[in-house]
Structure 1
Amino acid sequence: MLYFQMVIMAGTIMLAYYFEYTDTFSVHVQGFFCYDTTYTKPYLGPEDSSAVPPVLLYALVAGLPTLLITVTETALFLVQYTSKEFDRSEKSVAIGDCCYLNPLVRRTVRFLGVYVFGLFTVDIFVNAGQVVTGNLAPYFLTVCKPNYTALGCQQALRYISHQEACTGNQDDILRARKSFPSKEAALSVYGALYLAMYVTCVVKSKGTRLASPVISLGLMCLAFLTGLNRVAEYRNHWSDVIAGYIIGTAIATFLVVCVVHNFKGKLLLSEDPPVPEQVPSPAALNLGRVESPLEKYMSSQVRAAPITLTNVQLKQERVAEITQSL
């Protein structure tokens, strides 16, 4: 199963790479109406000039879960290491037929591996939606710069569907055709929800009753603000952000509930203690056995039989003595 999982992970990464950095999958060319105010919002520059640039978003989505999960698992392991349970537990876990890993390393790699798989899965779903729909960003006509006179846009309801209608920068136009769903919203809510569920399910000590919900709400607020920023900067529509939230939430919930089973499992895999053989106590041995009604009847007949024979013999001897005396 370990090798099979590695193959799945490699295939997922390759598919995400082809979606993101190659033109293997061409974007659907969606048309527009002349002078459509839905797509005439101002263009505030490339993604790097955003309040939440891709470098910051990807660093938080990749680095924060790695740091938080590693630190939490290490702290929990050290707490159990100093307890008496460590002496009765396994120090390593078999992985396949060749490797042995410490339970701390196994749990950390498992949770982070599932999280990374989910990141690439979210990226694939988002890119697939953007390629198939080709939904236009709110600033599309600003970067498209169509020649309305050459297109015959004397009427505002004229629909333009051919790709050659745009005269602007091709990279900006291509990016403006990939608005639905919002990748930033999907990745941010996926990372926030996965971490929130991890903190809620794993950290359950008495001193963290308020820390867990505060951390979870803080993470979800960051994801919500990321979506708001995308709408405020006219980079996505509300529908794009909501669709991204749905994709990220669905994938995070599925992985946590169905794959890692709400992060269950112990850092130290305790061995089951041998069950001692139950030896009957002397008091139990001295207790009399309860006889059934049939056994009682048979024993009474056996006890009564010698008494009956003795009475018959006494009667016969008495009769003999009386006869002799006569």
Structure 2
Amino acid sequence: MLYFQAVIMAGTVMLAYYFEYTDTFAVNVQGFFCHDSAYRQPYPGPEARSAVPPALLYSLAAGVPALVIIVGETAVFCLQLATRDFESQEKTVLTGDCCYINPLVRRTARFLGVYTFGLFATDIFANAGQVVTGNLAPHFLALCRPNYTALGCQQLTQFISGEEACTGDPELVLRARKTFPSKEAALSVYAAVYLTMYITSTVNAKGTRLAKPVLCLGLLCLAFLTGLNRVAEHRNHWADVIAGFLVGISIAVFLVVCVVNNFRGRQPESKHPPGAALAHARTISIPRAASPLEKNHITAFAEVT
């Protein structure tokens, strides 16, 4: 099972790489109307000049949840080390009956592994949506630089299609065709929701009744501000950001609820041996059928009375 999971993770990483850094999947070329006001916003500059640059976003999305999960699992393990419940629920046989994975290592690796898988899955879903739709950015015309005279744009209702309509930098034009859904919004909200559900389900210490909601709301607000910044800088439409939020939230909720079972450990096995139920069933008394002699005795007694 471990090797199968490793193969799935490797395939997910490779697919994300092909979407992100290669031209294996061709982007859909979507047309536009001449002087369309939806795509006439000024070019905000490269992504590195954004208020939330990709390097900062990816670092926070990868580093903060990993740090919080490691610290949280270490604290939980230290607090429950005195009892044997944690160990009995989380201990896993690795090789025969002699080797076991430490419960702290097992839980931390499981939660971080699922989070990493979801992070790459979110990236794949966002990139796939961008490739399939080819939705144009609000600043698309500033990068496309179409020759309106040659294209016959005397009428505003003239529809332009085809890659040859643009005279700008082909690489920038290609990036301006990949906005739906917003990958930045999807990754930020995925990290925030996953971490919020982890904190809510795992941290049960005294004095955290107010600290937990404040921390969780702060994480969600940061994700919302990331999407808001994408719209304010004219890098994405509102529809792109909302779609990215839905993708990130859906993947996070699915993984937490269906894969890691709300961050709960394995349920302890029943203390009764497997044959206990069968032995108990054998001890139940079964009514014995009356013999013919007993039936005649009962009939005679009834006649006399």
Q: What TM-score comes out, normalization by structure 1 length?
A: 0.79
Q: CA deviation at 1:206?
A: 2.3
Kindly indicate whether the alpha-carbon contact (under 8 Å) linking 2:43 and 2:142 is maintained by their aligned counterparts in 1.
yes
Counterpart AA for 2:187: L
- How many angstroms apart in 1 are the aligned matches of 2:216 and 2:263? 16
Kindly indicate whether the alpha-carbon contact (under 8 Å) linking 2:90 and 2:265 is maintained by their aligned counterparts in 1.
no
Report percent identity of matched pairs.
Answer: 67
Counterpart AA for 2:68: L
Question: 1:1-326 counterparts in 2 under 5 A?
Answer: 1-81=1-81, 83-85=82-84, 92-95=91-94, 100-265=100-265
Question: Deviation string for 1:166-221 (max 9, x for gaps)?
Answer: 11111110110001000000000000000000000011122211111111101000
Equivalent residue, structure 2, for 1:316? none
Distance 1:143 1:261, change over 3 A: same
Counterpart secondary structure, 1:208: coil
Kindly indicate whether the alpha-carbon contact (under 8 Å) linking 2:90 and 2:106 is maintained by their aligned counterparts in 1.
no
5+ residue gaps in structure 1?
Answer: 276-326
- How many angstroms apart in 1 are the aligned matches of 2:86 and 2:154? 84
Q: What TM-score comes out, normalization by structure 2 length?
A: 0.85
Counterpart secondary structure, 1:137: coil
Distance 1:45 1:91, change over 3 A: closer
Counterpart secondary structure, 1:94: strand
Kindly indicate whether the alpha-carbon contact (under 8 Å) linking 1:88 and 1:270 is maintained by their aligned counterparts in 2.
no
Q: Which has the larger radius of gyration?
A: 1
- How many angstroms apart in 2 are the aligned matches of 1:261 and 1:84? 22
- How many angstroms apart in 2 are the aligned matches of 1:237 and 1:76? 42
Greater CA drift, 162-171 or 239-248: 162-171
- How many angstroms apart in 2 are the aligned matches of 1:238 and 1:18? 27
Counterpart AA for 1:134: G
* Root-mean-square deviation over aligned CA pairs: 2.3
Kindly indicate whether the alpha-carbon contact (under 8 Å) linking 2:87 and 2:103 is maintained by their aligned counterparts in 1.
no
Counterpart AA for 2:128: A
Greater CA drift, 178-187 or 199-208: 199-208
Q: CA deviation at 1:85?
A: 3.8
Q: CA deviation at 1:229?
A: 0.1
Q: Count residues in correspondence.
A: 274
Distance 1:68 1:88, change over 3 A: closer
5+ residue gaps in structure 2?
Answer: 274-305
Counterpart AA for 1:8: I
- How many angstroms apart in 1 are the aligned matches of 2:118 and 2:201? 18
Counterpart AA for 1:170: P
